[in-house]
Structure 1
């Protein structure tokens, strides 16, 4: 049956929000009386029992924002690589914020601002979140409105998300990874860096070392398959990277040595640890350690910065890391001032007479 909660408005009036989630169906609505909410819930239960849809059809200005988001989550989100996180975020917004029950004709920037501040400040029921998290979530909301306007011909004059100032993005990380920290990571995960990594924890450590030698992203490493590794050509093929492109990762002697430690070539995933388990083991390993602030992705920063000293041009570096443009690449190039000073003292510098 439908879940019904009462809410008290600022003017003292009470409304009833009914929510039903059953057998893959989801819908919610707000009513002025409990009786209306109960009747709606009964009607929805009957439709589900008769195998009828309870979601809205065509999206118009008379539809609610919830109708739009439900349709988007059902039809568009599954086509995305980040479907799981987007589905979770948008469903969370649908469940928590009654302002989304408004019709699209009456919903606007003020409603979005109120939702944004509520997410950042939190309340007794839901904890506060980082502004960067809200920024990502609002990117998803904006994408839903943009899709509805372009593909479903929703007659909005402007995307409401474009009319508010979103939280500022966090400064780009410049965290480097020292050799001592690399050793500490491996020690915490029980790997000696010389023998074959057999446990899942040891394979997490191996993946971190491999990221330092290849500048690969965590997801790319976890999805890498032995069939994609061409030992003779010294490359690991990535069919689909984060930016949607395929690329070949050059395998250095150090990276090859790590692959050799895995033992005999076999079919299937190289690492063989699923994402959720991998993340949990990484977070447990670093808890309370001196390197607790270290992110796995910092290995990509470190590798990019080191590679920049070895390759002849920025184009070579861009090919290795897979960045589409120089601006994105520069985010990952984080040399220390003393390293740059050493380059200025080098023989390659020629001053004009």
Structure 2
């Protein structure tokens, strides 16, 4: 079914973009676009073209070559990129590409897109209230489409235009590199979270044991998605290491499987987990993220993200005396340069050495339960008491 979109030209006049898409077996097999001065003319063209394309053999006899490529929009190229990508596209990248299709640039023909159009898109995106760092991420994901479109499908997307636009966007301040976060949870904040989630786990045994997930994220330095992908088969208990699948890195994520060392506290948490599924932590990232966000809001803990637990974990490694290669073997950092910012920490020693939650997250005994202390001013420490069985 055809669609008509009203577009505003640079001179202020209006034009009508008519689009036709033919799908077979859930995939788009043909797209066509034309711009008209009048909406009625655009509607008439759609009606005629749809009748022509519905005739037997019409699609098979469509011209292949420059005429057909000239009709392709950036939105078509994005769809083609998503459909033809042999490797899975990450959730964030898929959401970004989908979002780009809501902007005017997606309706523009590939052959007509230049660096000025891409810069205009960056400016328009910045006006929606996002940060320059987010705009940089959008352009980065879009550049992947520009890189592939020409060599793979002969679509007339100018890769040089994208490179020039990214340079201009940076010079104009439309994009910026992501800032390093230095937010670390305090022991008091962690105690509040752990008590909250243990209480929830007692009341709702089927809920995600977030107190264990949080502790494992700190001691293992693993990212949220990495935690949910680890299977029992990936564990090398004797070698005190684990195979982290599809580890994030700037070049290649899918298939980037890396063996990482497991510090003793992280391994102890794994050994306390029940083997109910192939995954050690058989929970969805959405469930973990939602639970963590709701808890911080409920407890009044500001500006704390789940990923900050990884930062806490890596910082801890250096505080207890790890050198860069040893810390990288745990965190999985490919470049030691990114770890240098952790080497100048002032604090030394392991602040988790006497953390009373260690016993709770490393024991399988269901009778072990946390109790809040009644002594005033002792909220940063929780005493462990066994729950006696009646009878």
Into which bin does the TM-score normalised by the smaller protein fall? 0.7 to 0.9
* 1:165 match: 169
Say if 1:131 and 1:200 are closer, same or farther in 2 by CA, change over 3 A: farther
- The question of 1:14 aligning with 2:14 is answered yes
1:301, 1:334 within 8 Å by CA — same for their partners in 2?
A: no
Say if 1:205 and 1:197 are closer, same or farther in 2 by CA, change over 3 A: farther
Q: For residue 232 of structure 1, give the secondary structure of its aligned residue in structure 2.
A: coil
Q: Distance in 2 between matches of 1:329 and 1:71?
A: 38
* 1:310 match: 320
* 1:108 match: 114
Q: Distance in 2 between matches of 1:174 and 1:34?
A: 54
1:207-256 Cα deviation digits (max 9, x unpaired): 12101011111111011112222333332222332234322333333223
Q: Distance in 2 between matches of 1:30 and 1:179?
A: 62
* 1:210 match: 216
* 1:136 match: 137
1:216, 1:321 within 8 Å by CA — same for their partners in 2?
A: yes
1:238, 1:246 within 8 Å by CA — same for their partners in 2?
A: yes
1:61, 1:104 within 8 Å by CA — same for their partners in 2?
A: yes
* 1:175 match: 183
* 2:75 match: 66
Q: What's the CA shift for 1:56? A: 10
Task: Pick one of 263, 284, 287 that aligns with 1:274.
Answer: 284
* 1:348 match: none
Q: For residue 260 of structure 2, give the secondary structure of its aligned residue in structure 1.
A: strand
* 1:86 match: 93
2:183, 2:308 within 8 Å by CA — same for their partners in 1?
A: yes
Q: What's the CA shift for 1:118? A: 0.7
Q: What's the CA shift for 1:103? A: 3.7
1:137-193 Cα deviation digits (max 9, x unpaired): 100111111223444566777521211324012321111222222222223334589
Q: For residue 242 of structure 2, give the secondary structure of its aligned residue in structure 1.
A: strand
Q: Distance in 2 between matches of 1:37 and 1:298?
A: 53
Q: Distance in 1 between matches of 2:266 and 2:5?
A: 56
Larger of the two Rg values belongs to structure? 2
- The question of 1:95 aligning with 2:99 is answered no
Q: Distance in 1 between matches of 2:203 and 2:238?
A: 22
Q: Distance in 2 between matches of 1:238 and 1:197?
A: 30
Q: For residue 169 of structure 2, give the secondary structure of its aligned residue in structure 1.
A: coil
Counting only pairs closer than 5 Å after superposition, residues 139-154 of structure 1 correspond to structure 2 as 139-152=140-153
TM-score by length of 1: 0.77
Q: Distance in 1 between matches of 2:78 and 2:3?
A: 19
Counting only pairs closer than 5 Å after superposition, residues 256-271 of structure 1 correspond to structure 2 as 256-263=267-274, 265-271=275-281
2:217, 2:313 within 8 Å by CA — same for their partners in 1?
A: yes
Say if 1:174 and 1:157 are closer, same or farther in 2 by CA, change over 3 A: same
Say if 1:20 and 1:192 are closer, same or farther in 2 by CA, change over 3 A: same
Task: Pick one of 324, 330, 334 that aligns with 2:340.
Answer: 330
Say if 1:156 and 1:70 are closer, same or farther in 2 by CA, change over 3 A: closer
Q: Distance in 2 between matches of 1:73 and 1:56?
A: 24
- The question of 1:117 aligning with 2:123 is answered yes
Q: What's the CA shift for 1:301? A: 1.0
Q: Distance in 2 between matches of 1:217 and 1:116?
A: 29
- The question of 1:284 aligning with 2:294 is answered yes
Counting only pairs closer than 5 Å after superposition, residues 186-205 of structure 1 correspond to structure 2 as 186-191=194-199, 198-201=205-208, 203-205=209-211
TM-score by length of 2: 0.71
C-alpha root-mean-square deviation of aligned residues, in Å? 3.6
Q: Distance in 2 between matches of 1:329 and 1:56?
A: 55
1:263-317 Cα deviation digits (max 9, x unpaired): 3x34412222112222222222222544231111111111111112335532111
1:200, 1:273 within 8 Å by CA — same for their partners in 2?
A: no
Q: For residue 16 of structure 1, give the secondary structure of its aligned residue in structure 2.
A: strand
2:261, 2:329 within 8 Å by CA — same for their partners in 1?
A: no
Unaligned runs of 5+ in 2: 350-391
Say if 1:155 and 1:2 are closer, same or farther in 2 by CA, change over 3 A: closer
